[in-house]
């Protein structure tokens, strides 16, 4: 992980390999300090660019959910932040989205790297055929991961009845400069994502070279996530079980809390305990950075968001602590290090399995699976098994835990969008802000983010249409 090419080298490599078919006269002119990837190690270094390719920035989704606390200065300065944070239905977010382009361009940069590896790594030197196939499979996993984020950010959520008629995001399958693309339907992008995962699985191994390299468990876990988003519960359950067969470990947050209890509970002390959610987190299938991608504190969260955690939740108590600074009161992050916000974890897979069991009528199995996670989260003095008598009741309890467990990642946003299409689970968000009562309807257009202005004004070799009016 520490041996990686810089983003500059990566971009130069992408551009140079993309030009191989038309720039032969210039192949001998390599910029000083740069190189054309030829060996498998060269291509592998591109995949391992963790601060470029292995990062998922979903700032606006966390703002819309009100899962994070945002500073007054940022809200005053960034109009897009303010529009999403305060649920301003009349705001022209398209006009405001002229600087917050990280989600779009970071994702497509990773997709471009994936395309480069998929197209050219088969000819790499200094590698076995099995190693080359594995790297290509890992690139397909990376590409599928980024298309899932894009599809669940800039397009409507998947609904079988209209997925074929609604537009999703640009599908780019070549690293060539100026490669043509099509803004495909929601149905087509999901089919492509699943195809990438299915093609990757035969060539992946139980463990990758690093936690940034997708392994077999990560592919099954991502498959489970995608099938759940599509409402395909049989397929999601099967994939979840296959992922858990690869890794079913859960981190014991109650033990972590007790280890740092004195530090955590000391009033007005915000000394940082080490984050267990980094590269070696036992729950990791793979690791991806989130909004914060250097070692540091987590994002602070709102105090009203904190009330949705269960009483006695050791994971919450280990991560945040109420603090007042001036006029602002919020839950301050109290652990420091790295945080796996964008990768697949066993917790997510357990909770996917739980929902699938509930949807299939196995309420007992669903709650048992949910409680397996909760036993590692809820302090013993507060713990009691949760029970349910209906699918709806079980799914709501599962989603409460899932939203808390995966807070600040893409999954709570994708889940909320998915469940908002079902009247049994649709939820209106509400809050009081500066004396005003605000709400966000489950049918609001704001659940789909607008493409950034840079992408619309410079669409490249294709046509890009906005999926929202504002």
Q: Who wins on pLDDT, 64 or 32? A: 64
**Per-residue confidence (pLDDT) for residue 34, from 0 to 100:** 55
What percentage of the chain reaches a pLDDT higher than 90?
A: 83
Which range among 26-35, 197-206, 325-334 shows the weakest confidence by mean pLDDT? 26-35
Per-residue pLDDT reduced to its tens digit, 369-417: 999 999 999 999 999 999 999 999 999 999 999 999 999 999 999 999 9
Q: pLDDT class for 13, splitting at 50, 70, 90? A: very low
The whole-angstrom separation of Cα 172 and Cα 186 is 14
Per-residue pLDDT reduced to its tens digit, 177-192: 889 999 999 999 999 9
The whole-angstrom separation of Cα 271 and Cα 336 is 9
First-last CA distance in the chain: 40
Tell me the two tokens of residue 203.
């060539």
The whole-angstrom separation of Cα 369 and Cα 84 is 34
Q: What mean pLDDT is predicted for residues 343-348?
A: 98
Q: Per-residue pLDDT for 213 more than 80?
A: yes
Q: Per-residue pLDDT for 10 more than 50?
A: no
Q: Which domains does the chain have, with CATH numbers?
A: 216-285+296-337+343-408 (1.25.40.390)
Contact 333, 396 (CB under 8 A): no
What percentage of the chain reaches a pLDDT higher than 70?
A: 92
Output the pTM of the full model.
Answer: 0.92
If we measure between CA atoms, which residue out of 229, 235, 236 comes closest to residue 159? 229
**Per-residue confidence (pLDDT) for residue 31, from 0 to 100:** 44
Beta partners for residue 440, in sequence order: 429
86 vs 99, 439, 440, CA distance in Å?
19, 9, 9
Contacts 24+ apart (CB under 8 A), 91-99: 91/470, 92/470, 93/446, 93/449, 93/450, 93/468, 93/470, 94/450, 94/453, 94/456, 94/466, 94/468, 94/469, 94/470, 95/453, 97/449, 97/450, 97/451, 97/452, 97/453, 98/452, 98/453, 98/454
**Per-residue confidence (pLDDT) for residue 36, from 0 to 100:** 79
What count of other Cβ atoms lies within 10 Å of the Cβ of residue 105? 13
Q: pLDDT class for 224, splitting at 50, 70, 90? A: very high
Q: Per-residue pLDDT for 23 more than 70?
A: no
Q: What mean pLDDT is predicted for residues 335-355?
A: 96
Q: Which helix (H) or strand (E) holds 184?
A: strand 182-185
- Helices and strands in the chain: count of H runs, count of E runs: 20, 9
CA-based Rg of the chain, rounded to a whole angstrom? 22
Q: pLDDT class for 266, splitting at 50, 70, 90? A: very high
Tell me the two tokens of residue 217.
């468990």
Tell me the two tokens of residue 285.
């299938």
Contact 159, 96 (CB under 8 A): no
**Per-residue confidence (pLDDT) for residue 35, from 0 to 100:** 61
**Per-residue confidence (pLDDT) for residue 142, from 0 to 100:** 98
Average predicted confidence (pLDDT) for the chain: 91
Q: Per-residue pLDDT for 147 more than 80?
A: yes
**Per-residue confidence (pLDDT) for residue 164, from 0 to 100:** 97
**Per-residue confidence (pLDDT) for residue 78, from 0 to 100:** 93
């Amino acid at each position: 992980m520490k041996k990686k090419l810089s983003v500059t080298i990566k971009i130069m490599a992408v551009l140079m390999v993309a030009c191989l078919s038309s720039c032969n006269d210039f192949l001998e002119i390599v910029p000083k300090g740069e190189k054309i990837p030829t060996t498998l190690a060269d291509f592998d270094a591109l995949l391992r660019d963790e601060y470029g390719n292995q990062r998922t920035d979903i700032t606006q989704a966390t703002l819309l959910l009100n899962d994070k606390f945002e500073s007054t200065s940022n809200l005053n300065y960034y109009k897009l932040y303010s529009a999403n944070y305060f649920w301003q239905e009349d705001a022209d977010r398209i006009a405001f989205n002229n600087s917050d382009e990280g989600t779009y361009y970071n994702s497509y940069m990773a997709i471009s790297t994936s395309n480069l590896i998929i197209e050219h790594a088969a000819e790499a030197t200094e590698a076995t055929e099995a190693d080359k196939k594995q790297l290509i499979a890992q690139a397909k996993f990376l590409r599928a991961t980024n298309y899932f984020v894009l599809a669940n950010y800039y397009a409507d959520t998947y609904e079988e009845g209209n997925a074929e008629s609604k537009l999703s995001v640009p599908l780019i399958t070549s690293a060539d400069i100026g490669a043509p693309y099509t803004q495909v339907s929601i149905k087509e992008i999901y089919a492509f994502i699943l195809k990438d995962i299915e093609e990757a699985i035969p060539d992946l191994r139980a463990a990758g070279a690093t936690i940034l390299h997708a392994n077999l468990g990560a592919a099954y876990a991502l498959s489970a996530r995608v099938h759940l988003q599509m409402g395909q519960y049989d397929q999601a359950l099967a994939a979840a079980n296959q992922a858990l067969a690869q890794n079913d470990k859960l981190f014991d947050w109650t033990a972590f809390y007790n280890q740092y209890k004195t530090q955590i509970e000391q009033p007005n002390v915000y000394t940082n305990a080490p984050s267990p959610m980094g590269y070696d987190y036992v729950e990791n299938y793979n690791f991806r950075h989130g909004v914060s991608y250097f070692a540091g504190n987590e994002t602070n969260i709102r105090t009203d968001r904190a009330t949705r955690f269960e009483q006695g939740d050791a994971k919450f108590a280990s991560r945040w602590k109420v603090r007042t600074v001036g006029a602002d009161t919020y839950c301050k992050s109290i652990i420091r290090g790295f945080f796996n916000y964008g990768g697949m974890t066993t917790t997510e897979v357990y909770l996917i399995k739980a929902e699938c069991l509930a949807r299939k009528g196995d309420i007992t199995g669903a709650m048992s699976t949910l409680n397996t996670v909760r036993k590692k989260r809820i302090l013993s003095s507060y713990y009691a098994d949760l029970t349910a008598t209906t699918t709806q009741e079980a799914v709501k309890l599962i989603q409460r835990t899932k939203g808390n467990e995966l807070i600040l990642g893409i999954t709570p946003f994708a889940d909320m969008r998915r469940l908002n299409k079902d009247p049994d689970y649709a939820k209106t968000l509400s809050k009081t802000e500066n004396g005003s009562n605000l709400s966000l309807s489950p049918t609001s257009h704001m659940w789909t983010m607008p493409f950034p202005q840079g992408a619309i004004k410079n669409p490249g070799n294709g046509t890009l249409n906005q999926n929202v009016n504002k």
